Every structure is written in C-alpha cells, then in structure tokens.
Structure 1
Amino acid sequence: MTDDNVSDAEFWDARYSQSDQVWSGNPNTVLVREITGLEPGRALDLGCGEGADAIWLAQRGWRVTATDISQVALDRAARHAAEAGVSDRVDWQRHDLGASFPDGVFDLVSAQFLHSLGDMPREKILRTAASAVAPGGVLLIVGHSGHPSWEHDHHPDVVLPTPQEVLEALELAEEQWEVLISEEHERIQIGPDGQPGTRTDNTLKVRRLGG
C-alpha cells in the first residue's frame, strides 16, 4: 500500500475522484495494434480504469469482462460504455486482483500497464491471468520497462521488469504456449513540466496452444 492507513482501493478511488478524467479516453496503442484482426470472442480486461480498452473491444464485437480495484473508475467506465452504446457487451466487476479474480476462461486476457505503488502481487496476478486463457487464446501484457527520463527519485516499491522477466515469472509450460511477441519499445511522452521525454515500455504476447 502507498500508506499504512490507506488501502489500494482507497488510494485509487481518491486518484480517480480528483478529476473527471484521468486517462486519455483512447484505447492503448499496443492493444489496438495486436488485437485488430482477431476473431472476437470473450475478453478479460485487467485494471480497466475508465474503460477505454473494454469499450473499444466491445465496439468490435468482443464480450468483455472488465475489472478494476476502483469503484469510482468502474462507475465512470460504465457511463462511458452507455454513451458508446455497448453496455450490454461489458460486465464491469470490482476486484482486488490479489485477493479475487473474475471467473471463466477467455479468448483474450489483456493487462495494460498493470502497475501499482502498493503491494499488489503482480506476478501472481499475471500467472492467474494466464490460467484464464482458453485454448487458442491470447494473453497480452503491456507494461513499463523503466522509469521515465524525467523521473530521478524512483519509488522503491515499483518494480518494472523486462519482457523476458515477465515471461519467466509466468512459469508457462513451453509445450502449451507460443511466444508471439517479446519486445521493448521506446516512446515519447510529455513530462509533468510540459516537456517531451522518453519512456521504455514492453510487450509480451503469448498464445495458448490448442483450440
């Protein structure tokens, strides 16, 4: 947790309550690139935030289970889904993923920037995510590989693994999975001072064999 007296849920509820919009409202670029062209099925969006990815998937025919620790974020996401006309295609569920996880198996499990300043057991959550992928389905994990160029006082509790470290932590049985993408990429991001900086992200895309 970020504070001994504040739970992760309280922290994120407070973060989302500070403004009417925290994120851009656009789906994550890597999700769009890697999922476009896949046959729609059942999708699980972990850490859905304000719902942009889930809504984008629903608009393309996916049936989405979207989960976040923040009820404030989920309520906002549900409003956005209603405005987009896809409420019937998204099931919004509140989960502290270290303690509970959505039921079912999915053709796509997406974890986009599933990071927290708290004690979230990210590796355990991602292993559970892998177990929820249906035969023939895809697990797509996108995260930060390093701190932004303008940040020099790094939070000691934030671990930013390489894609290979993410893959190893999943403990996948090699004969049951195919690695489609394991890469890092650098992008330009505007820092808090309004000036452009750089940030390195990573993408891991694996497919469960069969199906």
Structure 2
Amino acid sequence: MTDTHTPTAEEFWDARYQASDRVFSGNPNTALLRETAELIPGRALDLGCGEGGDAIWLAEQGWHVTATDISPTALRRGADHAATAGVGDRIDWQQHDLANSFPAGAFDLVSAHFLHSPVELPRGEVLRTAAGAVAPGGTLLIVGHAGFPPWEAEPDPEVHFPTPDEVLADLALPMDRWDVLTADTYQRPLIGPDQRPTTRPDNTLRLRRHPA
C-alpha cells in the first residue's frame, strides 16, 4: 500500500533538523550584526530562530529574546547551546507554526531572517503580523534571499525572491509612522558544498517605527 501522507510543516522541518547533528553554523547572520550594532538592547523577537545562532548572539549583547521556531528539535538544540553559552536565562524558546500562532507582546526588535519554505507558509501575512509586534520606537528587520546559491545547477524558474521594495509594499504599513533605514541587496559570504568560499545575494529591509 502506497503511503500518501503529506508531512505537515512541523514534520517537514523537524525531519530536516533530525537528519543531521547540526544544520547551521551557530554564528549570527551577517545582516543582524550590521543592522543592530547601534541599537540599545531591549526585548527582541527572533522569528524562525532555528538552532539559535541569532538569539544567542542577541542575548550575549544584553537583549531579552523570545526565540520561535516550528521545529522542536531546533528549539531543544538552541536551548542547549544557549545554556552552554551562559545566556539560557535571557532567551524564551517558543514553538510556533507562524501560519497559526504568534508570540504575544511588543518588542523593541523583531527579526525575521530567511522565512522561505518549500512547504506552505503565508510569508506576507506572517511579516505583517511581525510588523504589528514592533513596539513604538522599535525596529523591524527582514532579511531574505535575493537569488539562488551559485551551486544551484537548475534553479526553479517558478521561485520568486521578493525585493526589499516588494516586501515593503506587501507590508502595507502607514509610512507616516515608519522610517525605512535600509533597503538593499548584498552578497553574503558563505562556504559552498565544495568547501570553497562563495557568496549568495540576500535582501535586507530595516524599518523603524516612530515613537508613540
């Protein structure tokens, strides 16, 4: 009998993390380092935190972080890494399928890095909810891919990576209450499958909500 079960988003992502001991490097994302360097630490929300590289770095800088992911395996690893780094008490790890639930509260920084998914994810809706979670005077940071990695032999022509302007338009924010601080494309350094240094184009959109 053929198995016709279609994995849920949680099953898909948890299987990906369970397939190896570590999926990501554990280092914070390049854009996070650059775009938050001058911010005063407060409350941060890390959406799609994975194994916690960004959340742990933010906690080390003095932020109190709510870190969310759909994968229980990723969250357990993140909590373990945070404890080893000595910042476990500064991070609240929460499991959310962002298509169905979202952390409560308002945050001085809401960070969403690479919310791309091969399984269904209402990315625009999630990012609009993220904007609503930014406290007055706070920052919204959205980083996404701008193209396929250079080793992708047959990139899917149906896949569209939205530009910063497209993301901004989809947010539908009242622009008399927000300032656009960064809207650009940059080349992120990384190591390819052949272990050679290369780059991948990514987009950054950073906005500041006006103080109340």
Identity of aligned pairs, percent? 62
Q: Match of 1:138?
A: 139
| Correspondence 1:100 to 2:74 | no
Q: Match of 1:57?
A: 58
Deviations 1:89-148 (A, max 9, x none): 100000000110000000000001111111101110000000000010000011101112
The amino acid across from 2:85 in the alignment is A
Could you tell me how far apart the structure 2 residues matched to 1:203 and 1:117 are?
21
Structure 2's unaligned 5+ residue stretches are: none
Q: Equivalences for 1:14-93 in 2 at 5 Å? A: 14-93=15-94
The amino acid across from 1:134 in the alignment is A
The amino acid across from 1:56 in the alignment is W
SS in 2 for 1:183: strand
The amino acid across from 1:133 in the alignment is V
Cα pair 1:150 1:197 within 8 Å, conserved: no
Work out the number of aligned pairs and report it.
209
Could you tell me how far apart the structure 2 residues matched to 1:7 and 1:144 are?
24
Per the TM alignment, residue 189 of structure 1 is displaced from its structure 2 partner at its CA by: 3.6
The list of structure 1 runs, each at least 4 consecutive aligned residues, that deviate by more than 2 angstroms after superposition, is 152-159, 186-198
Alignment RMSD (CA, Å): 1.7
SS in 1 for 2:152: coil
The amino acid across from 1:97 in the alignment is L
Q: What is the TM-score of this pair, normalised by structure 2? A: 0.93
SS in 2 for 1:141: strand
